Amino acid sequence: MAEFIEFTSNYQDLSTDRGFQWEFRCERCDNGYRSKFRASATGAVTEVLDVASGIFGGLLGTAANVSERVHSAAWERAHDENFSQAAQEVRPHFVQCPRCNNWVCRQRCWNEKRGLCFDCAPDTTVEVAAAQAGAITEQAVEAVRTRTYDVKDYVAGDELRAACPKCGAALKTGAKFCPECGTPIKQNRFCTECGSPIEANAKFCPSCGAKQQ
């Protein structure tokens, strides 16, 4: 058993009067591992509390959790010993990055090839794939922005509606009814000359007077 415990901040003490347990987390992804629960050899609450604590009267009876109670020296020693065992139990799942000193999980946040965490030595394949996806998105948005639109394209209805207003189901272009719940999809019309919104059965545009098809 190690004399000193390496983990100093990336854990949560889940111990109770009935036993000991800790949760250690990765300082990069915040995921982690929980140590096995080890029952306290001292047993019930009254057995772990310091005998001398009776002088405090009703204080202990109102304590909300184990951290607020006064424990015997035996319980404190058991607590430290079990913490050390828990740290050794989860230690193989963590690596301390020599560059940033963060404790990271081996499974997702440790770059084995570089000997550094992925924050200090990102995975080039992942970064390139993300950059490529970002570039494609930017180019697609730019293409939409620079395109010249003809208002006649929207006479049949509002082709930009993507989901049903009632159930949220995806809609195909020009859909008149929702394929999931059957809700009628309102079709907005626009003037073929000026682009102003018009009623579905309008024969003339109320803004410019143009005859509608």
Both tokens of residue 103? 């404790």
Whether the pLDDT of residue 212 is over 50: the answer is yes
- 73 C-beta neighbours (distance < 10 Å), count: 8
- Mean of per-residue pLDDT scores for the chain: 79
Which pLDDT does position 202 carry in this prediction? Answer: 79
Percent of the chain with pLDDT over 90: 40
Residue 69 confidence (pLDDT): 53
Q: What's the distance, CA 135 to chain centroid?
A: 25
What's the rounded Cα separation, in Å, for the pair 53 and 31?
A: 39
The confidence score (pLDDT) of residue 2 equals: 47
* Torsion from C-alpha of 44, 49, 53, 56, nearest 10 degrees: -70
Confidence band, pLDDT 50/70/90 cuts, at residue 22: very high
State the DSSP H helix or E strand holding residue 87, giving kind and residue range, or none if neither: helix 73-90
Task: Kindly provide the residue ranges of all beta strands, DSSP E only, lying in the chain, ordered along the sequence.
Answer: 11-13, 19-20, 22-25, 32-34, 38-39, 94-96, 103-105, 110-111, 116-117, 189-190, 197-198
- Model pLDDT, residue 113: 92
Q: Quick count: other Cβ atoms within 10 Å of Cβ 20?
A: 23
Report the pLDDT averaged over residues 177-206: 79
Give this prediction's pTM: 0.52
Residue 105 · residue 93 · CB < 8 Å: yes
Q: How far apart are CA 135 and CA 12, in angstroms?
A: 41
Q: d(Cα 171, Cα 175) in Å, to the nearest integer?
A: 6
Q: Which of 48-62, 86-100, 197-211 has the lowest mean pLDDT?
A: 48-62
pLDDT number for residue 42:
64
Task: Please write the tens of the pLDDT for every residue from 100-145.
Answer: 999 999 999 999 999 999 999 999 998 999 999 999 999 988 988 8
CA angle 165, 169, 173 (to 5 degrees): 85
pLDDT in tens, 23-56: 999 999 999 999 999 998 765 444 444 444 444 4
- Residue 68: is its pLDDT beyond 50? no
